[in-house]
Every structure is written in C-alpha cells, then in structure tokens.
Amino acid sequence: MQTYDVVITGAGVVGCMVARALSRYDLSVLLIDKESDVGAGTSSANTAIVHAGYDPVPGTLKAALNVAGNRMWDTLAAELDIPFERRGDYVVAVDPEEVPRLELLLQQGRANGVTGMAMLSGEELRRREPLVNPKACAALWASTSGICDPFAAVLAAAENAVTNGVTLMLETAFEDLIMEGRRIVGVRTSRGSFRCRWVVNAAGVYADEVMHKAGVRPDFRITPRRGEYYVLDRAQLPLRSVLFPVPTAVSKGILVTATVHGNPIVGPNAQDVASKEDRSVTREGLEEVWRGAQRLVPGLDPRAVIGLFAGLRAAGNARCLTPGVDYGNDFVVEIAEGVQGLVNLAGIESPGLTAAPAIADRVVELLRDAGEPLREKRSWNPIRRARPRFRDLPPEEQAALVRRNPLYGRIVCRCETVTEGEIVAEIHAPIPARTYDALKRRTWLGTGRCQGGFDTPRVLAILARELGLSPLQVTKKGPGSEFLSRPTKDADWSNTGPEQAGHRAGGGWER
C-alpha cells in the first residue's frame, strides 16, 4: 500500500489551493477526485466573482476568510497567471425600502475590514452603468470586488502543485477512511487504498459524508443548493462591473455580471435539491432568473442568450463559534475533534472561491499547530504560466506563433477563435485535457454562438489522434459519456487533421 503524508479528497478550488500550499513543504501529498478533471464540480459552475466581503456576518469565519482571501488575489493571479480584474460591484436598491439594507451592508463591510466602499445615488449609478434599471434609487459600491476565471484558478493551482511534487489521481472516488481506533491511517478509494497520516476533507457537497465516516459532527449536514444561469453573447450587453440586488437570507441574489472572457452571465437562483449531482436547468428556475435579472437591467434581450448552466453550492448548517454571533451557516475549517488525522473543510459555499487561498493558509496553520513538522522546500516554485490564447495575442505575436507551430494557424472553433495548436497544447499539458469538456473549460471552445455545432467533430478527431484512441472512446466528460456509439461505414481516422475531420465526421459515425 502506497504511503503519503497527506491525502486531499476533492480537487475543486479549495482542494487545489490546499494542495498548492502544502506543496511548499517537505510533505508527500496525494490529491484525489472522482471526476475526470480538476474543478469539474462547483468550481466550474459559479458566478466567478471575488467578493469584497461586506455580505458575511461580522465575527463569522466566513467573513474573516472572505476578506483575507480577497486581499490575496492580486498576488495569486500574478503568480499563477489567472485571469483576474478588480472591476468592483454595485448592490442596487430599486425600491426606497431597500436602502436601509444597503446601509447595513456598508456597516458590515467596515466591521469586516473592507475598504473602498461608498453609497451612491441612483443618478451616479446610472452614469457609471447606463443599462441599470431607471428606478434604481441608490447603490452600495465596493471597489475591491473582482471577477476571475474560476476554472483557470483551479487548474493553475493544481498545475503548480503537481510541478512542485503533489500526486494527482483523477477518476479516483473516495470510498472510506481506514481507521485504527480513533486514528486515521489511510483512505480507501475506487483505485485502491493509500496509507496517510492526514486526510484533508475538501469534498464539496460530499464533505459531510466524509465527516460522518469518521464519526464526527453527526448533526452537520450539507444541502446541495442549485443555482441556474444564463450566458449571454459578449456583444449584447456592454457592462463593466457586477450588479447585485439587495441580498436575501439564503442568497446574494440574482445578479448580472461581466466576465473576464467577455460573455455576461445572469443568475443564480437558489433552490435546495435532493441530489448532490443535480445540475439540471428547469423552465421554472430559468424564468425566475430572468425576472430577477430584468429587475436590475430591464433591457435584457432574450435573443442574446447563447447558453445555460447550473451549479451546486454546498450549503452547510454549522453554527458560528464566535460568542454572541448568531449565525447558522458558517464555514467549517478545523481539525476534527475526537479523531486523529482529519482536517475538515466543509460548507464552503459562496464566498468560497474568494476565500480559497486563505483557507489553504489556514490548513497550513492548523497542521503546524498540531505538531506537523513543516520544512520548506528550497526548490519550491510559486510561479506557473498559462499556455498562450491565440485570440488574445496581438497580430505580430499570432504570426510568430504560427511560424513556430503551424497548428496555431488552424482555427477549430470559429466563435471563440480557438486553434488546433491550443487544443494540442492542453491535451499534453501537466494536467492533460482528455475529454471535450476538459478542453472546453481550458480554451473556451464550444462556448460561443454555435455552442459547439461547428467544432465538436473536429475536436473529437483531434482527441482521438493525440490520445491514440478510437473515436468511439472519446468522451464528453469521462467514462459513460462517449459521443459515438458505432460506425455506420468504414473510415480511416489516422492522421486526421481538422479539414479531414470535418469531412469524415459528417457521415462515418453515429451518435
């Protein structure tokens, strides 16, 4: 049985940030996830906002880690080459009765240590964001809020961790803890058992189940809370910042936001669901989202919609431990009591993306306080560089790239200008993209107006060629999601380039 110092369950943004933080030290670390790619759960289906920190209740762990994490994002983005922009956000009061709530958020933000906030009139808000509802009477402005590419953050942290010695195993489902008395000595997975001294539970919506296998916090429960979204064409909504409604008790509300890639997104709603895998979109939910978004931007045009998606938040029921603070939905970031060797990171819903680097630093502190000898590696390198994105390069750099590698001159996805060179580079990256969705998250192919109608057969051909697979083996998101079922006539897929792929996929295979 292979032995590690630490096993991390869950390769979402929290698990990958923890893996990166621990890779700094002389520890053997294994990061596992049941999916075929990192960040395939909540981390790839959210609002992509780095929150300022005025929304969490003062005194909660959620508030402290939100603000601490926000302050880390400039350095984090620079070190890991993550798309990140501090655009600021507005909480918009459409009704005068909502203005006192804005003033409360301002007070909360100041209590949490948030800077750069101000109350604005409706007139000033409309001067800055002309598309906002003309009935808006006031807004809270938070300049430290930002937008990012959340999957790029996960991938960057994971790649940096792997290059610094962390072992990553995908398609590896956690099954149970191996215990000796009340001490954890290993984990059992779908791909075998591994000995370890510490388990870091970053299992997202499944984190409560890991806790219960250890016999700790039996009353803690995670409720999967689904949020549905629209994706809009980038040319249809010239929006600079993030527009929030006045929040409710369970959600920051249905918002309208710009993104670092240019496509505005609208959402989410908040619906508790029974299944921890239910990422479906519903007619009723989408209608709710559209109504909420039109309250902020009445001029939204449904013809601008090019995509839909849903994500799950891990809504927990942990009470805040600060005396005098009555709050029942706090983060859990702690070494488990009553069992040796378990660190629980649970109930990490919004602002979990923002807080993730601060949570990772807190895990390091917890292990150090528990007596774990943490010796820094001399060879640790915090820097990771992303592969070039052809469409973002100036013309002279595009030309130079094509001269070095002609594959960058072949456009596979026309809507998003994704080249074959980019696709091949991601297939052979430190964490290889081995499925269509993995490539989609990395390159944004298939996310434009045609939603993959043009590129899909070409991408299948490239994946088959580069991975040495039959086209029948190429999947959308891992085993069980194969695109093709059987050939309908003989076809030779060897040495398939984009031109041939488009021809042969037209009649040679059946979905």
Backbone angles phi, psi at 186, to 5 degrees: 175, 180
Active site residue 51: yes
Contacts 24+ apart (CB under 8 A), 126-130: 128/90, 128/240, 128/241, 129/90, 129/239, 129/240, 129/241, 129/243
- Is the CB of residue 312 less than 8 Å from the CB of residue 224? yes
DSSP 104-141: HHHHHHHHHT--SEEEEEHHHHHHH-TTS-TT--EEEE
Of 316, 357, 490, 486, residue with least CA distance to 84: 357
Q: 51, 261, 428, 503: which is the annotated catalytic residue? A: 51
Identify residue 482 by its one-letter amino acid code: E
Please report the beta strands in 65-221, taking only residues with DSSP state E, as ranges in sequence order. 84-85, 89-93, 117-121, 138-142, 146-148, 167-169, 174-180, 183-189, 192-201
- Number of neighbouring beta carbons within 10 Å of residue 468: 7
Of 444, 459, 448, residue with least CA distance to 410: 459
Structure tokens at 315: 């809504």
- Is the CB of residue 279 less than 8 Å from the CB of residue 226? yes
Structure tokens at 405: 């590698």
d(CA 32, CA 432): 15
- Is the CB of residue 26 less than 8 Å from the CB of residue 56? no
- Which residue bears the tokens 């502190």? 365
Give CA separation, 447 vs 233, 253, 309, 439, 505, in Å: 10, 25, 11, 11, 20
Three-class secondary structure of residue 33 per DSSP = coil
List active site positions.
51
